[in-house]
Amino acid sequence: MRLVALVSSLLAFAAGIARAELAATFESGGLKDTRADRLPALLVKAGEAPTPFLAAGEFGVTWSGKLVLADRLRLVFSFEGEGKATLTVDGEELLSEEGTLGGSASKSTRLNRGGHDITITYRSKPDGSGRFRLFWEERGFPKQSVPPTVFKAEVAADPARHGRLLFAENHCSKCHLGAGGMPELTEFGPLLVASGSRLTEEWLAAWIANPAALRPDTRMPDLIDESTPAGKQQAADLAAWLMTQKVGEVPPAPDPALARKGGEHFHRLGCAACHTQPGGPGDPGRLSLDDVGFKFQPGALAGFLKKPDTWYAHIGMPDFALSEAESNEIAAYLLEATGKSTRKPSDFPKGDPAKGMEVATALNCAACHAGSGVPNTALPTTDAIFTKDWAAAGCVSGKPDPKLPKLALSDPERAALVAFAKKGAAPLTRHVAAESTAAKLESLRCTACHAVDGKPSRLDSAHLETQGLVAHVQGETEKVAQTRPHLTFVGEMLHASYLEAILNGTVANRPRPWLDMRMPAFRAHAGDLATGLARLHGVEPGKPDAPAPDAALAEIGRKLSGNEGFGCTTCHGVGAAKPTAAFEVAGINFALAHERLRKEWFIRWMDNPSSVTPGSKMPRYSEDGQSQRPELDGDAAKQFDAIWNYLQKPE
């Protein structure tokens, strides 16, 4: 079919772009701020700042770049939202609207294959609120949001924007108290209260002495000088004190005989997305597990795996809802695998717990670690430090000073923090959900497991490294497809309420129970991420309306879904009713559709699944707006609407 080939070529073309984005230049109060946006969309409430570097109030934004097409199309563009917007392509104004957007559309415009200059200007309402989305349609596909994969622009990285995130990630505001607004500023390091029940004294001393030597990407500063005997003694004393911080009894180490089963879990859960296999080659983009046996007391590792955020709410390691057996089996595998590597004996002296508590007080450990039992020393406030030159002196400068912590910063990161310092402290008070979420998608390594914008996940290639862990399992290679959902359209696909439940780990029925991999919980970030993912697409975060199907349409939808129609129930169960036939790739149960999906996305998906998810096994049922079924005069959009009515209450 013509559009199938068109979409395939468009996606292939877009996948070759290093990064699909637009330059978004915001203006408010005579000031400007430019950032890279995946797509021209936003949702800003009255009283909210449009970007961290501009105050709340009436604002404008201009998105500019290239619209890259893989084939010639006749496109009709339209808007959604409120405010004033204008679309210009190749210097020609195609559409301009003011007020409630979406009442009109552009004329059908032929655009040839290749890149076209595109500019979208948008002006908020006078109260500073704004919402905008850009849509397109063509004879071959219905109205839908323009996918981010077709945009391209050269957008210079903003060091100040990166510096703002680094300020939060390095917990600078924990020592230098001040007004907050960024949710990242509320994040804390691990609780110290249970250190002695979980960690080894040898690892604690080595970690305190030189955190970056054990984990190069750490944000834990180096607080002592390990090159001196006094520094080594401080590390040893502090480690000895931490070992007195105990909660409960440490369970026995897992049975080594469980290691083989644990290796199977390691592969099936896709741990290689974020971690290199113990004993294997390193990878700068993934965390090594070689020291896990050195770090954890053998009996405590299973407990950490079962609930990673018990003592560290903002940990990057998510909760996979492992059973007691699974956590013990994985712990046994890791301990066996890391036990094969050797570590030089510690050269730290014997520590004194009483002196260690004094060290903890002197080093202000309580600033980042709650529950330590030591006081938090007051230091200059955030406002005060922003009056200083960070390049000349202080933690960021990198200049030797035994009184200051040594941050694990690269030269570009130091430059970014210095650039941010020149902006003042105000950006720390402004939370912009979309920007925060875009940053969290990276810091939480979401794209390690999920493809986005035509770019495959890291796991797509890394998973081969651990294939040998299941080579002995009969039938392992005969399972249904184990691909994970793409993130490209997730903010407009799922209701924010369902996204939050997924991220909280509270979804009762897994939508894809056939996957070995599981969507883990990121409880500390669930609400902000769900809201931000919707706002990235200009979608109002919300929940599904109460089911209100049209009875006549729902009956047509039921027939279209069954064997006498499109045969959807061949692959999709309906509540307790199983699919009617064996299938290569399972479909999500129809009983979950209403609580999960937004109607707009459902119609887009039904029209052409592979244009939404490349490689999807879901067939296409329409061509140029018509289907082969006679119901509703063969009008595919009306038929899909009928199926939607049925899915609101399919049981």
Has residue 545 been placed in a domain?
no
Q: Are residue 38 and residue 8 in the same domain, yes or no?
A: yes
Q: Are residue 332 and residue 250 in the same domain, yes or no?
A: yes
CA dist 251 → 76, 245, 468 (Å): 65, 16, 30
Q: Say what the pLDDT of residue 344 is.
A: 63
Element (H, E) at 115: strand 114-123
Q: Say what the pLDDT of residue 1 is.
A: 35
Q: Are residue 179 and residue 141 in the same domain, yes or no?
A: no
Q: Say what the pLDDT of residue 2 is.
A: 37
Q: How far is it, in rounded angstroms, from Cα 103 to Cα 257?
A: 67
pLDDT per position as a tens digit, 419-477: 999 999 999 999 999 999 999 999 999 999 999 999 999 999 999 999 999 999 998 88
Q: Are residue 148 and residue 65 in the same domain, yes or no?
A: yes
Main-chain phi, psi angles of 568, to 5 degrees? -60, -35
Q: Which residue type is seen at 402?
A: P
- Say if residues 534 and 541 touch (Cβ distance below 8 Å): yes
CA dist 474 → 326, 380, 479 (Å): 20, 63, 11
Q: How far is it, in rounded angstroms, from Cα 321 to Cα 316?
A: 15
Element (H, E) at 141: strand 141-145
Has residue 377 been placed in a domain?
yes
Token pair 């990276």 is at which residue?
A: 442
Sequence-separated (6 or more) residues with CB below 8 Å from residue 231: 209, 224, 225
Q: How far is it, in rounded angstroms, from Cα 193 to Cα 451?
A: 38
Has residue 173 been placed in a domain?
yes
Closest CA to 441 of 533, 319, 534: 533
Has residue 580 been placed in a domain?
yes
Has residue 600 been placed in a domain?
yes
Q: Say what the pLDDT of residue 479 is.
A: 79
Three-class HEC string of 437-477:
HHHHHHHCCHHHCCCECCECCCHHHHHHHHHHHHCCCCCHH
Question: Which ranges of the chain have pLDDT less than 70?
Answer: 1-20, 340-345, 582-584
Element (H, E) at 553: helix 551-561
Q: How far is it, in rounded angstroms, from Cα 265 to Cα 476?
A: 12
Sequence-separated (6 or more) residues with CB below 8 Å from residue 97: 79, 84, 85, 103, 104
- Say if residues 183 and 313 touch (Cβ distance below 8 Å): no
Q: Are residue 504 and residue 605 in the same domain, yes or no?
A: no
Q: Say what the pLDDT of residue 11 is.
A: 36
Q: Which of 510, 536, 562 is the last residue of a domain?
A: 536
CATH number of residue 65's parent domain: 3.90.182.10
Q: Domain total for the chain? A: 5
Main-chain phi, psi angles of 632, to 5 degrees? 55, 40
Closest CA to 132 of 602, 537, 479: 537
DSSP per-residue string spanning 380-427: --HHHHTTS-TTTSSTTT----TTS-B----HHHHHHHHHHHTT-SGG
DSSP per-residue string spanning 228-284: SHHHHHHHHHHHHHHTT---SPPPPPPPGGGHHHHHHHHHHTTGGGTBPPTTS---T
Q: Are residue 183 and residue 199 in the same domain, yes or no?
A: no
Cα dihedral: 51, 54, 59, 62 (round 10): -60
Where in the sequence is the domain holding 44, given as residue range(s)? Answer: 2-156
pTM (two decimals):
0.93
DSSP per-residue string spanning 359-388: HHHHTTGGGT-TTSSSPPPP---HHHHTTS
Going by DSSP bridges, is the β-strand pair 73-89/114-123 parallel, antiparallel, or unpaired?
antiparallel
Q: Are residue 8 and residue 134 in the same domain, yes or no?
A: yes
Q: Say what the pLDDT of residue 342 is.
A: 52
Q: Are residue 379 and residue 406 in the same domain, yes or no?
A: yes
Q: Are residue 506 and residue 558 in the same domain, yes or no?
A: no
Q: Are residue 487 and residue 556 in the same domain, yes or no?
A: no
CATH number of residue 251's parent domain: 1.10.760
Q: Are residue 526 and residue 624 in the same domain, yes or no?
A: no
Q: Which residues pair with 152 in a beta bridge?
A: 66
Has residue 541 been placed in a domain?
no
Q: Which of 385, 406, 429 is the last residue of a domain?
A: 429
Has residue 350 been placed in a domain?
no
Has residue 357 been placed in a domain?
no
* CA 232 and chain centroid, separation: 39
Q: Which of 480, 510, 536 is the last residue of a domain?
A: 536
Q: Are residue 465 and residue 484 in the same domain, yes or no?
A: yes
* CA angle centred on 91, ends 86 and 94, rounded to 5°: 40
